[in-house]
Amino acid sequence: MAQKKELYHCTECGSTAPKMLGKCPECGRWNTYVPVIQRTQDTRQPIQDALAPSSYTLEDLKTNQQKERIPTSLEALNRVLGGGIVQGSVILIGGEPGIGKSTLLLQVADSVCQTGRKVLYSSGEESPPQIGLRAERLGIETPLLHLSFETELETLQMVMKQVEPACMIIDSIQTVYRSEVPGTAGSIPQVRESTNFLIQLAKRTHTTIFIVGHVTKDGQIAGPKFLEHLVDVVLYLEGDKTSAIRLLRSQKNRFGETQELGVFNMTGKGLQEIKDPSEIFLSEKAEHVPGTLIFPSMEGNRPLFLEIQALGTPSFMPVPRRIATGIDFNRLLMLLAILEKRARIPMGGMDIFLNVTGGVKITDPAIDLSASLSIASSIKDLELPERCVAFGELGLSGEIRPVANTDRRIQEALRRNFKPIVVSRISLAKEWQDNKNILAVDQLSEALNLLF
């Protein structure tokens, strides 16, 4: 008979402690520890009816590598996944409620079924008529798609044995549970043990499993952080609900490039890929307005051209406001300090607003130069060249540092007839030094003098 012991788990990071703590020593959050009954003996049963234990050599794994991926009808999804769905992988997808996660996965299920493979869609959040209505709206009619509404994993495993699918979708991980694990569905122990169960099931049966995860108010996947470490791929579906644009971003991928980006348009027929997202983001660019500039952001292996908008206006508040959308707030404060100290542009008493259009969140440090030039243009009320492109990382002394993929950004900008292109002189290759459309600079002040 297994004995029980009371432990305390942090609801934010999943760390444990033998007693109640006010502040979590791991994540630093307050009042996040909850009591959880845990067995002192491991009562978890192994995956039943699974394949017999076996071993492989490297030669065995090289035989059919190309057949290990299942392509989908969504080319953007294939690119984000690194070429298609890898059999036996576990893919975690998160996003805001109503952003389109279930719609995307239903389209994925239909694509897999079109290849002659079976798919098991398990939903603990929607009823059969609801999924049926969505499938009818998307035009999905296939006998290979099986629906299940079991939330107990042991029972779901029996259904899986009957169907023998090549792909299974769990919508969502917060609704499934194991009967042998204490706690309700969605609790830290249940999420942890349920994910371990599904990973073991996927690896032993060579079944691809998609897991939907809820997100917190900060946009992070709810549950213990190590949930993202366990799975093979982590995808985020982002976008503004008031807009039809949806961004599918890869945060982790054991089988391909990370930081890949797929751009979709949400329609009545589901998500449709946008072949050239740069044209969509630049289609509504304001002309001849101070404070706007084009920035070539590297998303995976291709540049994505985005419009940077800045607005500087006298403040009527005791403390001027600083608002950043699409860029880290602390990075904006650093750029304002560099502009005031190195470029002699006064920032006191000014409200500064910076926005990256299209709802894209930029972490690339190459945005420093574009953002700084946009802010200076707005404060000086001077227009930048209409098709000007700038990128480069700024140092605290005002120097413009080189960034990755400079040649790729320049090639794509010239192909789209963007000019002038402002870049760091250090990162400029010899083949571009005589090009009159490229302005090579060393300091932020030098770039301001050339453009204004």
pLDDT at 219: 67
Q: Domain for residue 231, yes or no?
A: yes
Q: Domain for residue 56, yes or no?
A: no
Query: Considering 230, 255, 275, which residue would you say is the last residue of a domain?
Result: 275
Domain extent, residue 208, equals 67-275
Long-range contacts of residues 262-270, Cβ cutoff 8 Å, at least 24 apart: 262/74, 262/76, 262/77, 262/79, 262/80, 263/76, 264/74, 264/76, 264/100, 264/104, 266/100, 266/103, 266/239, 268/137, 269/137, 269/138, 269/139, 270/103, 270/104, 270/106, 270/107, 270/137, 270/138
Q: Domain for residue 266, yes or no?
A: yes
pLDDT at 412: 93
Q: Domain for residue 386, yes or no?
A: yes
What is the pLDDT confidence band of residue 409, given thresholds at 50, 70 and 90? very high
Residue 81 sits in the same domain as residue 197: yes
pLDDT at 20: 85
Q: Which residue has the higher pLDDT, 286 or 326?
A: 326
Residue 169 sits in the same domain as residue 267: yes
- H/E stretch holding 355 reads strand 350-356
Mean pLDDT, residues 86-111 taken together:
93
Between 210-219, 262-271, 368-377, the lowest mean confidence (pLDDT) is in: 210-219
Residue 307 sits in the same domain as residue 412: yes
pLDDT at 1: 41
pLDDT at 224: 64
Residue 118 has pLDDT above 60, yes or no: yes
What is the pLDDT confidence band of residue 452, given thresholds at 50, 70 and 90? confident
Distance between CA atoms of residues 18 and 6, nearest Å: 7
Residue 188 sits in the same domain as residue 217: yes
What is the pLDDT confidence band of residue 66, given thresholds at 50, 70 and 90? very low
Residue 85 sits in the same domain as residue 195: yes
Q: Are 4 and 16 in contact (CB under 8 A)?
A: no
pLDDT at 60: 65
> What CATH number is attached to the domain comprising 347?
3.30.230.10
Residue 451 has pLDDT above 90, yes or no: yes
Q: Domain for residue 308, yes or no?
A: yes
- Taking every pair of Cα atoms in the chain, the longest distance, rounded to a whole number of angstroms, is 81
Mean pLDDT of all residues belonging to the chain: 87
Residue 364 sits in the same domain as residue 219: no
Residue 235 sits in the same domain as residue 90: yes
Q: What is the pLDDT of residues 68-81, one digit of tens each?
A: 789 899 999 999 99
Backbone dihedral region of 351: left (phi > 0), alpha (psi from -120 to 50 degrees) or beta? beta
Between 93-97, 183-187, 206-210, 264-268, the lowest mean confidence (pLDDT) is in: 183-187
Mean pLDDT, residues 419-442 taken together:
92
Residue 327 sits in the same domain as residue 431: yes
Residue 206 sits in the same domain as residue 328: no
Q: What is the pLDDT of residues 175-212, one digit of tens each?
A: 999 988 877 888 888 888 899 999 999 998 999 999 99
Mean pLDDT, residues 39-53 taken together:
48
Residue 256 sits in the same domain as residue 135: yes
Q: Domain for residue 59, yes or no?
A: no
Query: Considering 231, 259, 275, which residue would you say is the last residue of a domain?
Result: 275
- 358-390 burial code (b ≥16 CB/10 A, e <16): bbbebebbbbbbbbbbbbbbbbeeebbeebbbb
Q: Domain for residue 62, yes or no?
A: no
> What CATH number is attached to the domain comprising 116?
3.40.50.300
pLDDT at 22: 87
Residues of the chain with pLDDT > 90: what percent? 57
Residue 117 sits in the same domain as residue 130: yes
Residue 266 sits in the same domain as residue 287: no
Q: What is the pLDDT of residues 137-162, one digit of tens each?
A: 999 999 999 999 999 999 999 999 99
Q: Domain for residue 123, yes or no?
A: yes
pLDDT at 275: 87
For the chain, what is the domain count? 3
Query: Considering 275, 309, 332, which residue would you say is the last residue of a domain?
Result: 275
